Amino acid sequence: MTGKVCRVDDLVKRLTLQEKIVNLVDNASSIDRLGIPKYEWWSEALHGVSYVGPGTHFSSVVPGATSFPQVILTASSFNETLFKTNGQACYITPVKAWWFQLSTEARAMYNVDLAGLTFWSPNINILRDPRWGRGQESPGEDPTLASKYGVAYVQGLQERDDGDKDRLKVGACCQHYTAFFFFLNGKFRSLTDHWSIIVPPAEPPDHIHLH
């Protein structure tokens, strides 16, 4: 095993069952005896670092972040370079053309204890019904476009400026795989439909928590 894998394996073996459980939620408690600080996994950056997730905070130090157009508008350009750039480029100052990166803003906020390093972005749900209230977050109805958008945006978030492929600038998390897109003709699907259609048969129900 590599050094990183060995470290993770050793750490997991040191955790009690209760300590493992409390780290399965977004607001992970600290484990003082092992020197593990508490951590909030939930931050959002669908089209810019957002205050929606509890892991992100703005203050007089960082009063705001760059906001790009909603995802469905960006995706309608069919421009893969733009998709990746939105994960990177944030703004140009009026004085000098400095391209800052969304992930750079996120790292800067982390450095002053205003954000984490994990972002629940991008949203790659397929927009099957325009009555879904969060359709603007997704690339739209086309699976091919959604997949290309997802790949490019994740690369834009995670790739480091120095080209080091063994480390991430920030961590992306594509949403949502299960227990989310429940709509059929503007109505919620039944749980029977959910387990039959969305969740693979090999995935037992007790492994997935429904919100």
- The full set of domain ranges for the chain reads 41-176
| pLDDT at residue 107 greater than cutoff 80 | yes
Average pLDDT over residues 84-89: 71
User: What's residue 199's pLDDT?
Assistant: 61
- pLDDT grade, residue 208 (50/70/90)? very low
Listed in sequence order, the DSSP H helices in the chain are 3-14, 17-22, 71-75, 80-88, 102-111, 143-158, 191-193
Cβ contact 125:189 at 8 Å: no
The beta strands (E) that lie in the chain are given as 27-28, 39-40, 118-119, 171-172, 183-184, 187-188
Q: What is the DSSP letter of 205?
A: G
Q: Among 2.60.40.10, 3.40.640.10, 3.20.20.300, 2.60.120.10, name the CATH number for the domain at 41-176.
A: 3.20.20.300
| pTM for this entry | 0.77
**Tens-digit pLDDT profile for residues 49-58:** 998 889 999 9
